[in-house]
Amino acid sequence: MIRFLFKGLIRDRNRSLIPLIVTATGVMLTVVFHAWMTGVIGNSIEFNARFAAGHVKIMTSAYSENAGQSPNDLAILGTDTLTGIISSEIPEMDFAERIYFGGLIDVPDSAGETRAQGPAFGIGIDMLSGRNDETERMNITSSLRSGRLPMTRNEAILSSDFADKLKINPGDRFTLVGSSMYGELTMHNFILCGTVEFGITALDKGTIIADIQDVREALNMYDATGEILGFFRTGTYDDEQATMIVNRFNEKYFSADDEFSMLMKSLAQQNNMGFLVEYSGKLKAILVAVFVMAMSLILWNAGLLGGLRRYGEFGMRLAIGEEKGHVYKTMLMESLIIGFFGSLAGVAAGMVIALYLQEHGIDLGIMMKNASIMMPHLFRAQITPETWYIGFVPGFLSTQMGALLAGIGIYRRQTAQLFKELEA
């Protein structure tokens, strides 16, 4: 039976070609769209987590009110012991202390006087203790453009463009002019050991990255840190689990009456990230629903057109005694075959495009200049196991739905009228 129908579909291309193309196109679009959106949302969430928000972030309550300004005068104190305590209380996460700060980079001439100056955004991370993998987490190694990572105290990295602007090379000395956590003007000498380019506008403008102990010394922040970032050991953000950890932590450490009590926020609660996290979770459901609905309508329409074209054929088959149910069944079987091969072709075509977008990406840097959340320039698609079936299943189902709806017309044919229709 299937062989018979299969032959019919191959020999009568009018019966199979349009539904096959429609199904394959729809599935291909779904696959590409899913991979693209997963990539864009995933990249944005991951970048924000790694560079700014963590999967959870601990700050003082007062600091959190103006966290965008990194007010280090409101930093967390007593971090030498605190981070260890938190790590033991929340074993499912790795914690890393970070200090974000603003300042001025001053490059001396041969006489030691100011040759060039530029405002800088600084990040102090643990790079020398070997206790965590902050450099890997922030992709610093793979973002190096020249030189190397800091290996000894008082070495620092600058963003590549910034170093070019200041005309400074690895091995040169510069001074960070900043403000201590007590508001004092501070100066600290660093040796430039390398330059980096992250492909993130916010970071590539003018960034200095140094070991957190050097930053503490430079900013008079001994035993203090601006923020403590927590990352799930699994490496991926889980909003439900993060919310539970946040609630548990805040219940113990946060007090509304003490502006210096510690407050934990999940990734979704920071920097307008909530909508991305929420959207990411609902993306698959939205995609499937929209696709099935749209494709069903299109295929229903295609089925109706096919039904009209095959009006005579169905009439003849009914006239020679084929039962309506059998005609309907063969129509559904045909749609099964079309759905299967159409979806297969769509997945194949979609995967080729998604793979290209995953490897090469699209540079949207010009649109990211004023982004409030940290976004990479280069957006890439991301193929996940879901990408393989996210288009196939609804593609297959929607052809069935289309055939089911279009085939109802068969039951409306009046057997008594058939010969009259055929004579006409």
Partner 1 sequence: MIFITCYCGLNAQYPDARKIIESIDQNMSSENRVFSSSMIIHGRRTTHTVKLKTWTAGEDKSFTEYLFPVREQGTKMLKLEDQLWIYSPSTDRIIQIAGHMLRQSVMGSDLSYEDLMEDSKLTDQYNARITGTETVDGHQCWVIELTAFVTEIAYHGKKLWVDQKRNIPLREEMYAKSGTLLKRTELSDIQRINERWYPKKIVFRDMLKDGDGTEFIIEDIEFNVPIEDYIFSKASLKK
User: What is the spatial distance between Cα 141 and Cα 157, in angstroms, rounded to a whole number?
Assistant: 11
Comparing CB distances to partner 1, the nearer of 154 and 243 is 154
Q: Of 381, 384, 38, 49, whose CA–CA distance to 236 is shortest?
A: 49
**Nearest CB to partner 1, comparing residues 154 and 400:** 154
Position 321: which residue type? G
For 130, left (φ over 0), alpha (ψ -120 to 50), or beta?
left
Provide the binding-site residues for partner 1, judged by CB under 8 A: 62, 73-74, 104, 106, 108, 112-114, 117, 175, 177, 179-180, 182-189, 220, 260
Minimum distance, C-beta of residue 180 to partner 1, in the bound complex (Å): 7
- Cβ closest to partner 1, residue 260 vs residue 389: 260
CB of 250 to partner 1, least distance (A): 21
The minimum distance between CB 173 and partner 1, in angstroms, equals: 9
What are 156's two structure tokens? Answer: 């620092």
Q: What is the dihedral of CA 359, 364, 370, 376, to 10 degrees?
A: 10
Alpha helices per DSSP H over 310-323: 311-319
| In the complex, minimum distance from the CB of residue 63 to partner 1, in angstroms, rounded to a whole number | 11
Smaller CB distance to partner 1: residue 112 or 130? 112
Of 30 and 175, nearer to partner 1 (C-beta) is 175
Quickly list H helices, 361-390. Answer: 385-390
Give the strand pairing for 56-60 and 227-232. antiparallel
Shortest Å distance, C-beta 175 to partner 1? 5
**CB-wise, 125 or 219, nearer to partner 1?**
219
| Distance of alpha carbon 218 from alpha carbon 210, whole angstroms | 10
Q: At what angle do helices 274-309 and 392-407 cross, to 10 degrees?
A: 40
Paired tokens of 352: 């080729």
Quickly list H helices, 324-391: 324-360, 385-390
Nearer to partner 1 (CB atom), residue 106 or residue 134 = 106
Find the shortest distance in angstroms from Cβ 219 to partner 1. Answer: 12
CB of residue 120 vs partner 1: minimum separation in angstroms?
14
* Residue 414 structure tokens: 């009046």
Which is nearer to partner 1, 220 or 250 (by Cβ)? 220
Give the DSSP per-residue string, 137-165.
HTTHHHHEEEE----STTEEEEEHHHHHH
Of 169 and 189, the one with the shorter C-beta distance to partner 1 is: 189
Tell the smallest beta-carbon distance from residue 74 to partner 1 (Å). Answer: 7
Could you tell me the two tokens for 88? 């033991």
**Nearest CA to 408 among 343, 346, 332?**
332
Helices and strands in the chain, H and E counts: 16, 14
Q: At closest approach, how far in Å is the CB of 65 from partner 1?
A: 11
